[in-house]
């Protein structure tokens, strides 16, 4: 992948069935800009959705538009720690239980949320991977032979069946689909074709 670090979102540019680039938002925008006026250019985001970028102007102007937006000033809470005050509605018995916890309601709620996040991390990643793969496959492979069977295999967690259905697909489409689907099959997206 060109010019991306581990925490940066990865974008993909396709021209027809050919994968042009994989990289940062700016990498994708610059590659797509080179193909302005050509038919069949599509940019996909990290979630498998096609995205539209304003590709007008010089590369410097494009880079300025692609730069992350500055964070808005924060309100109440502990802004230096990233704590933002929000309202939570609970039943009186919930508030009673929270008040009896060591550290009070805020500490108990943070611990509960973190435990739930950790418990759901695996299933959430699998679901997100399947959904991204499905969105990408629908856009790029919806008319390809074996599409429906491949999607059934994807959602059933049948890696061998999935691979068998996409092996005849154009190499770049199948390769990118494998990247989107990697976590659904317990694989590392960075090492998937």
Of residues 38 and 161, the one with the higher pLDDT is 161
The sign of the torsion formed by the CA atoms of 143, 144, 148, 151 equals negative
User: Residue 146 pLDDT > 90, yes or no?
Assistant: yes
β partners of residue 77: 84
Count of alpha carbons within 13 angstroms of residue 139, beta-carbon side = 24
* Per-residue pLDDT at 105: 84
User: Residue 3 pLDDT > 60, yes or no?
Assistant: no
Helices (H), the chain: 25-34, 59-66, 92-99, 104-141, 147-156, 159-166, 171-181
* Per-residue pLDDT at 37: 82
User: Residue 7 pLDDT > 70, yes or no?
Assistant: no
| pLDDT-derived band at 70, boundaries 50, 70, 90 | low
What SS3 state is found at 37?
coil
| pLDDT-derived band at 191, boundaries 50, 70, 90 | low
User: Residue 77 pLDDT > 80, yes or no?
Assistant: no
pLDDT in tens, 81-130: 677 777 888 888 988 888 888 888 888 888 888 887 777 676 788 899 99
* Per-residue pLDDT at 156: 92
User: Residue 166 pLDDT > 50, yes or no?
Assistant: yes
Helices (H) and strands (E) in the chain, counts: 7, 6
User: Residue 179 pLDDT > 50, yes or no?
Assistant: yes
Terminal Cα distance for the chain, rounded: 12
| pLDDT-derived band at 192, boundaries 50, 70, 90 | low
Report the C-alpha gap between 84 and 77 in whole angstroms: 5
| pLDDT-derived band at 5, boundaries 50, 70, 90 | very low
Report the C-alpha gap between 24 and 66 in whole angstroms: 10
pTM of the predicted model over 0.85: no
């Amino acid at each position: 992948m060109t010019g991306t670090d581990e925490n940066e979102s990865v974008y993909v540019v396709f021209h027809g069935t050919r994968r042009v680039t994989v990289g940062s938002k700016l990498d994708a925008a610059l590659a797509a800009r080179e193909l302005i006026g050509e038919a069949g250019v599509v940019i996909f985001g990290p979630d498998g959705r096609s995205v539209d970028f304003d590709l007008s102007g010089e590369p410097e102007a494009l880079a300025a538009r692609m730069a992350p937006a500055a964070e808005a000033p924060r309100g109440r809470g502990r802004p230096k720690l990233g704590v933002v005050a929000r309202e939570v509605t609970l039943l009186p018995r919930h508030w009673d239980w929270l008040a009896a916890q060591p550290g009070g309601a805020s500490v108990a709620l943070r611990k509960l949320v973190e435990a739930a996040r950790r418990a759901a991390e695996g299933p959430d990643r699998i679901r997100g991977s399947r959904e991204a793969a499905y969105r990408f496959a629908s856009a790029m492979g919806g008319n390809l032979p074996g599409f429906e069977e491949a999607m059934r295999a994807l959602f059933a967690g049948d890696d061998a069946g999935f691979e068998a259905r996409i092996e005849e697909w154009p190499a770049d489409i199948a390769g990118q689909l494998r990247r989107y689907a990697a976590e659904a099959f317990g694989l590392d997206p960075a090492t998937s074709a």
